[in-house]
């Protein structure tokens, strides 16, 4: 993929399977509302994009409803590269929700730059070598205070792993800022269970000697150490795991208010693949 969308014609990408389920992306939407609360409250009619929404209008409609709790006038654009899917979804347009044909080049009305692009369960099917180019195309379309969220989750959203990528800076290469694991704490047996949901940029690096592998092992060790807290609830056990990791010097971000939701976030540098 060419990093400059101005030299590309037509939707960029390949058609995904398109399958989805209601509430599958609720964890991602909840985190997006948290990170973007300030810009959305400051200017509540910002544009957000759901890229590769699939065979139904479900996920963009749900994202639209959730973000409108924070920003009542937020506008949501669902993009797909399959014209038939856009035609089906168009029947659900209205009240700030619209659908259009588009891919990684992220075409928007009037060229407006969105504050959020959510590209979820999209890049998983691509070769790893194509991921940075897709990131670059999408990040270049963001508003200066915008964010790209890219990752993978299971079929009904009980486990999700995602990257946040800020708007592209001409002075630096496009790279993620954070990695978040978000789980239904009473569903998992141990945190490393999410390994099969790692984003494409990480999943092939989950091997001994690579940072993401070591991070998952650290999560499991802290989880097993916190086993006595399971008497109170899996949520309390998860909070204890996060707190212990932070106290041990791990760069765990946020705090108990996020941890209690089954989230744990670290800077990208903690998990970024080492060159082989």
Q: List pLDDT tens digits, range 108-122.
A: 999 999 999 999 999
**Residue 143's pLDDT is what?**
96
The arithmetic mean of pLDDT across residues 57-62, rounded, is: 94
The proportion of the chain whose per-residue pLDDT surpasses 70, expressed as a percent, equals 91
> Which DSSP string do the residues of 155-180 spell out, in sequence order?
TTSSEEEEEEEEPP-TTS----SEEE
pLDDT of residue 276: 64
Beta bridge partners of 159: 183
Q: Is the pLDDT of residue 84 over 90?
A: yes
Angle between helices 26-35 and 58-67 (to 10 degrees): 30
pTM of the predicted structure, to 2 decimals: 0.92
Separation between Cα atoms, residue 108 and residue 191, nearest integer Å: 38
Q: What's phi and psi for 140, nearest 5 deg?
A: -70, -15
pLDDT digits (tens, 9 = 90+) for 202-242: 999 999 999 999 999 999 999 999 999 999 999 999 999 99
Strand (E) or helix (H) holding 98? strand 97-101
Distance of alpha carbon 97 from alpha carbon 95, whole angstroms: 6
Parallel, antiparallel or unpaired: strands 97-101 and 75-80 = parallel
Domains parsed from the chain with CATH numbers: 5-176 (3.40.50.150), 185-270 (no CATH)
- Under the banding of pLDDT at 50, 70 and 90, the label for residue 176 is very high
Asked whether residue 35 carries a pLDDT value surpassing 80, the answer given is: yes
How much of the chain, in percent, has pLDDT values that exceed 90? 84
Q: Which of 122, 52, 56, 48 is nearest to 81 (CA)?
A: 52
Which helix (H) or strand (E) element contains residue 78?
Answer: strand 75-80
User: Could you tell me the pLDDT band of residue 275, with boundaries at 50, 70 and 90?
Assistant: confident
The yes-or-no verdict on residue 12 having pLDDT over 70 is no
- 122-169 pLDDT tens trace: 998 899 999 999 999 999 999 999 999 999 999 999 999 999 999 987
Average pLDDT, rounded, for the chain: 92
Query: Higher model confidence: residue 105 or residue 171?
Result: 105
Give the Cα separation of 83 and 49 in Å (integer). Answer: 17
* Distance in angstroms (rounded) separating the CA atoms of residues 222 and 70: 34
Strand partners, 184: none
Residues 46, 42: Cα–Cα separation, whole Å: 10
């Amino acid at each position: 993929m060419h990093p400059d969308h101005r030299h590309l014609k037509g939707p960029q990408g390949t058609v995904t399977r398109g399958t989805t389920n209601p509430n599958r992306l609720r964890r991602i939407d909840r985190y997006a509302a948290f990170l973007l609360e300030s810009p959305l409250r400051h200017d509540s009619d910002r544009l957000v994009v759901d890229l590769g929404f699939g065979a139904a209008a479900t996920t963009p409609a749900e994202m639209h409803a959730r973000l409108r709790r924070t920003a009542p006038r937020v506008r949501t654009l669902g993009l797909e590269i399959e014209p038939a899917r856009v035609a089906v979804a168009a029947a659900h347009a209205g009240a700030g929700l619209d659908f259009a044909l588009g891919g990684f080049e992220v075409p928007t009305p009037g060229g407006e730059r969105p504050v959020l692009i959510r590209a979820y369960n999209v890049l998983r099917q691509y070769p790893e070598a194509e991921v940075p180019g897709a990131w670059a195309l999408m990040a270049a379309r963001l508003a200066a205070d915008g964010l790209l969220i890219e990752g993978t989750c299971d079929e009904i959203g009980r486990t999700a792993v995602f990257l946040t990528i800020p708007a592209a800076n001409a002075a630096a290469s496009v790279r993620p800022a954070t990695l978040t694991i978000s789980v239904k704490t009473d569903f998992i047996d141990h945190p490393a269970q999410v390994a099969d949901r790692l984003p494409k940029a990480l999943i092939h690096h989950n091997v001994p000697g690579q940072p993401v592998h070591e991070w998952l092992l650290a999560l499991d060790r802290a989880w097993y150490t916190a086993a006595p807290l399971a008497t109170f609830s899996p949520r309390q056990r998860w909070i204890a795991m996060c707190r212990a990791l932070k106290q041990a010097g791990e760069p765990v971000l946020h705090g108990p208010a996020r941890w209690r939701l089954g989230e744990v976030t670290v800077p990208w540098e903690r998990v970024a693949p080492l060159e082989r």
